[in-house]
Amino acid sequence: MLGTSTYFAVDLGATSGRTILASFDGTRVEMKEMTRFANPMIPLGGHLYWDIAGLYNEVIKGLRKVASEGISIDSIGIDTWGCDFAFFGADGQLLGMPHCYRDQHTDGAQEKFFAKMPAAEVYKRTGIQFMNFNSLFQLDTLKRNGCSALEAADKILFIPDALIYMLTGKAICEYTVASTSQMLNPMTGDLDEDILKALGLPRDKFGEMTRPGTVAGTLTAQVQEATGLGAVPVVAVAGHDTGSAVAAVPATDKEYAYLSCGTWSLMGIESPSPIITEDSFRENFTNEGGIEGTTRFLKNICGLWLFEQSRKEFKDVPSSVGELVALCEKSTFEGLINPDAPCFTAPASMTAAIREYCLSTGQAAPETPADYCRCIFRSLANRYREIVDILQSLCDFQIKKLHVIGGGSQNKYLMQYAANALNMPVICGPVEGTALGNVLMQMKASGAVDTLEQMRAISAASVELTTYTPENK
C-alpha cells in the first residue's frame, strides 16, 4: 500500500469483526479491509458468551495476512463494544469465555446492587446511564452467583484490553472502555474506590488506567512467531468503538450532535466536561470518556439490531441490504414502536415482538417485510428526535445538524426519515468511522497528528460525505 505510514486496525462489533490496513500520505487516510468474520453469541449452559479465543485467532489471521503480503505496519489498534470483560489467572491463562451483555442473568441486577449503594449515588460517582448489562451489574451478578472464573481471576480486563493482553502480555485498563462499565469516576479519572468496595473487588485486579493514544506494549515473541511480524507496537486507541467513531466525526464546529449508527445507535454531543446533574440523572444519560480529555454525553438506543434480527425471519426478499431497505417504498405502514422497549432486547422472534408491541399499543400490526422495515426505520428516526430534544435541553449550545457515522449512515431511508424527524441536516460519513478513528488514534500515538482538530480535518479529507435535508412532510 502506498503511503508514508501504515496502521492495522481491529474493529470488533457485537455481530461481526474486521481487520483493516490503513495508510496515511500526510493528507488523507486510505483504508483496505483485510479480513472480515462473524462474531456470534455462543449459547451454552443457559448463558450467552463470546468466543474471545476465536476473536484472538481472527486477529492473528489478519496480522498473518499482512506479513504474508510483505507489508510493514507501524502499529496495531483494537476497538470493541463496551461493558463486557474477560478473566485471566495469575499465570496469564484465560479463565473461560466472557459473558455476553445480552445474557439475561443480569435481569433485576440493578435493584440488587442499589440495596448496597443507591442509584443516585452511583450516578453521582459515574455519570453513566443505567442498563442491566453495565459491567458493574454484570460483575455484581457473577459475584452473587459464585462465578468460579471470577473467584479465580487475577485480572479482570475489558474486551479490547483483554485482546491487547493476549497480544502483548501487558494488562491495561483503557479509559474510554472503562468508562462504559459504570465503575469509573470521571472526576478522579480512575475506577471508583467505593463502588469497587461495594462489589467486593480490589482495584489491583484491573489493569493500569491508560488514556487513548498510548502505546500499551509490543507483540510478544510468541505472537511474532505466529504472525511473521516483528515487535510491532500495540496502541491503546479509544478501545470503546463509539469513542473511536466519535474521534472520526468530520465536524468543523461544535454545533452538532452525533449518531454512531450500527447494531446500536449511540447519540450524543461532545462536552469538555461531564454533565452530571439531576436532569441528566432523570433522563438516564451517560458520560463516557472521550479522547483528548473530552466527554461523550450520550444515550444508548437500540439501533439496527431490530432490522438485523428481523431480516433473518423474512421470506422471499432480496438478499442485499440495499434492496431490502428499499422495500420501504412499497409500504405506507404508519405504526411506531419504542426501539428501547425491553421486549426487543433478545426476543426469540423479533418480528413477533414488533407485531405484539404494535397490537398491544392499539396500532395495526405490520404484515410484510416492507412494513417491518418502514416501521423500524421510522421508529428509530422518531427516537432520534426525542433524544436530540433532550440533548438540547441539557447542553449550552444550539444543535444545528446531526453527524452520522458507521454502517447505518448508508441506509438512505433511515437517514432521510431522520432528517425529516429532526428538521435539520443529517451529514453522513465516514461509514467506517470506528476503524478510521482507531487509525487516527494510532497516528496520535506515533506523533503523526497532534490535535483533535487535525484528526477531524484528516477524516473530512479522507471520505465522501452525503447530506440529507428535511423534506416536506
Please, which residues bridge with residue 6 across strands?
A: 23
Distance set, CA 343 to CA 199, 273, 322, 402 (Å): 29, 34, 27, 28
Helix (H) or strand (E) holding 32: strand 29-38
Q: How far apart, in whole angstroms, are the C-alpha atoms of residue 473 and residue 470?
A: 9
Q: How far apart, in whole angstroms, are the C-alpha atoms of residue 25 and residue 372?
A: 44
Asked if 79 and 238 count as a contact pair (C-beta separation under 8 A), the reply is yes
Assigned C-alpha cell, 24: 496515511
Helix (H) or strand (E) holding 88: strand 85-88
In the residue annotation, 91 being an active-site residue is answered as no
Q: How far apart, in whole angstroms, are the C-alpha atoms of residue 296 and residue 298?
A: 6
Please, which residues bridge with residue 438 across strands?
A: none
Q: How far apart, in whole angstroms, are the C-alpha atoms of residue 253 and residue 214?
A: 26
Distance set, CA 399 to CA 15, 266, 290, 396, 428 (Å): 32, 16, 19, 9, 16
Residue located via cell numbers 392499539: 362
Q: How far apart, in whole angstroms, are the C-alpha atoms of residue 114 and residue 111?
A: 5
Options 74, 79, 161, 241, the catalytic residue:
241
Identify residue 78 by its one-letter amino acid code: I
Just list the catalytic residues.
Answer: 241
